[in-house]
Every structure is written in structure tokens, then in C-alpha cells.
Structure 1
Amino acid sequence: MNIPAPIKTILQQLPELPPTLALVTALNLLRKQLWPEDDFAWLTGRSVRLEIADLGRGVTFGFDGQRFVTAEQPADVVFAAALADYWIIARRQEDPDTLFFQRRLTISGDTELGLQLKNLMDATDFEPLLQHLPQGLRSRLVI
């Protein structure tokens, strides 16, 4: 899944706050469905950055003890991968470990926090959420 050049150019020029707000809103809305047993105490006061390597952009967020929030401070841990590789992880077509050892997913910063997040990504079944996407969009996003 390559990002078409004109769309990539536009995305690279947009501010990061709107997609970060969309992400934290989605995480807060879906938290109990995706992770009903996790209180995220281990993430409280920490920040995470998800970099989209093929855009040179990303989102930085944290957890304030009650909800996911946008974060402006430097991230404690940074995940970097191509947009297509994040999609592969969400579709469970590859696990994060495989992409990590293929150097398609990099993790830098706090390694303990990175490991917890990688394990969370690996254990999360995003498929029920993907089912809510319109069929036309889902079929175009299948890799």
C-alpha cells in the first residue's frame, strides 16, 4: 500500500494535532472494547509517539490516569513504521516482532515501555473495529 505522491505531499504539510486528536478520541471511545481488563496505570504520565516513516510525520499521545490525551513533551518511546506496516499489524497479517526483526518497525527510547506497548499491539484484535469501516473503504485498504 503506497501513499500516492499528491496525497503524501498534502499529508506531510498538515499539522499533527488533528490526527492526534482523532487517535486519542478513538482510543478513549474504544478502550473498554479493545482492552477491558487494562487500566493503563503503566502508561500514566508517559508519552508515546507513532511515527509514519514514509510520511516523516506522526502522533504523540499519553495517558493521564483516566484517559488518553495528546502530548506535547518529547515521547518516552517512539515506534516508527510505514503506514502499510501499521495496517498489517492492525489486520494481524504480521506480528510486531516479525516486523521488528525485519527492521520494518523500529522502537527507540524507553525499551521497557516499548516492550509493553509492542505486546499490547500484538495481543489486540483490531478486526472487530475494522468491520465498522464501509465495505468500499475496507476493500481498498486490504493489502
Structure 2
Amino acid sequence: MKLPTALVQLLKRLPETPPTLGIVGVLNLVRQQLWPEEDFAWWEGRHVRMAVTDWDWGITLSYQNGRFVCGDTPADVTLSASLADYWQIARRQEDPDTLFFQRRLSMTGDTELGLTLKNLMDATDFAPLLRFFPKPLREAWEK
């Protein structure tokens, strides 16, 4: 997925909190739909950072008291990939293991937490999230 350079430059200048709040809100809305059997006890009180390598930017999430929240401390684990690679994972066009072995997805910190998250990402059909995105992104998803 290639975004216009001007948009990328703007996003790079924004603080991480507003987009993280948006993602947290959407995840809380669709949690039961995406992961009806998952209790997330393995994530409780721990912080995960999803770094976007081509933007030098990312979000930090936590799971506390049954809800996703913005991470407010250093991450226990950081997953790093390009935006295009995250997009491919979400669309199930590429699995995280393949990207990991191609060194396009990396993990630092708590490996057990990272592997659990990587496996969750691999098993998740993110298509239900499309309803939260504008039409151009929904159309891009289908390509």
C-alpha cells in the first residue's frame, strides 16, 4: 500500500496518541467479532508496540480490565514491519512467519508475548474492520 508522500509526511509529524486511540476504539468495538473465544489474559497489563519501519512511527497498545487501551509505558515487545507488510498480513496475503523469515517482520523484547501476538495476527480475519474505513481504503483492501 503506497500512500501519498504529503500524507505520510503529515502522519509522521502527528503524535502517536490520536491514531492509537482510534485503533483502540475500533479494536474494542470489534473484539468479540474478531476474537469471540480469546480472553487476552496473556496480554493483560503488558504493552505491545507495532512499529512501522518505513515511517519511523508506531503505536503502543495494552489490554487492561477487558479492554484495549493506549500503552503508556515502554513496550514489552515490539513488532516492526513496513506498512505494506502489515497491510499484507491484515489482508491474509502473507503470513507473519514468511515475513519473519524474510526479515521483513522483526520482533524485539518478550519473545513469548510477540509469538502469541504474531499467531493471533495470522489467525485473524480483519475484513470485518472494513466498515470503519472510508470507501477508498475498502476498495484498496479488495485489490
TM-score by structure 2 length? 0.92
Pairwise CA RMSD: 1.6
> Given residue 20 of structure 1, which amino acid in structure 2 is its aligned partner?
T
TM-superposed CA distance for 1:127, in Å, is 2.2
Please, which runs of 5 or more residues in structure 1 have no aligned partner?
none
Moved more, 1-10 or 63-72: 1-10
* Whole-Å separation in 1 of the counterparts to 2:70 and 2:135: 30
1:3-14, aligned counterparts within 5 Å? 3-14=3-14
- Between the two proteins, what is the percent identity of the paired residues? 59
Please, which runs of 5 or more residues in structure 2 have no aligned partner?
none
Partner SS state of residue 42, structure 2: helix
TM-superposed CA distance for 1:121, in Å, is 0.3
1:76 aligns with 2:76: yes
Partner SS state of residue 60, structure 2: strand
TM-superposed CA distance for 1:130, in Å, is 2.8
TM-superposed CA distance for 1:66, in Å, is 1.3
TM-superposed CA distance for 1:3, in Å, is 2.9
TM-score by structure 1 length? 0.92
1:140 aligns with 2:140: yes
Residue 86 of structure 1 corresponds to: 86
Deviation track 1:58-78 (CA, whole Å, cap 9, x = no partner) reads 100101131111111000000
TM-superposed CA distance for 1:139, in Å, is 2.5
Q: How many residues align?
A: 143
Moved more, 1-10 or 49-58: 1-10
TM-superposed CA distance for 1:7, in Å, is 1.4
